[in-house]
Amino acid sequence: MKVAEVRHILDTIGDLFPDAHCELNHSNAFELTIAVLLSAQCTDATVNKVTEDLFQKYKTPLDYISVPLEELEGDIRRIGLFRNKAKHIQNLCAILIEQYGGEVPEAHDQLVTLPGVGRKTANVVVSNAFGVPAIAVDTHVERVAKRLALAGWKDSVLEVEKKLMKAVPRDEWTLTHHRLIFFGRYHCKAQNPKCQLCPLLDVCREGKKRMKTSTIRKAKDHRPRIKELEMKKRMG
Catalytic residue among 85, 138, 146, 163: 138
Task: Please provide the DSSP assignment of 127-149 as one string.
Answer: HHHS--------HHHHHHHHHTT
Catalytic residue among 85, 120, 146, 163: 120
Task: Please provide the DSSP assignment of 62-128 as one string.
Answer: HHHHTS-HHHHHHHTTTSTTHHHHHHHHHHHHHHHHHHHTTS----HHHHTTSTT--HHHHHHHHHH
What is the spatial distance between Cα 10 and Cα 198, in angstroms, rounded to a whole number?
14
* Residues 85, 58 contacting (CB under 8 angstroms): no
**Residue 44: active-site member:** no
128 to 53, 204, 210: CA distances (angstroms): 22, 29, 35
**Residue 171: active-site member:** no
Identify the burial level of 159 via C-beta atoms within 10 angstroms of its C-beta, where 0-12 means exposed, 13-18 middle and 19 or more buried.
middle
Cα angle for residues 105, 133, 110 (degrees, 5° grid): 25
Supply the residues annotated as catalytic.
120, 138
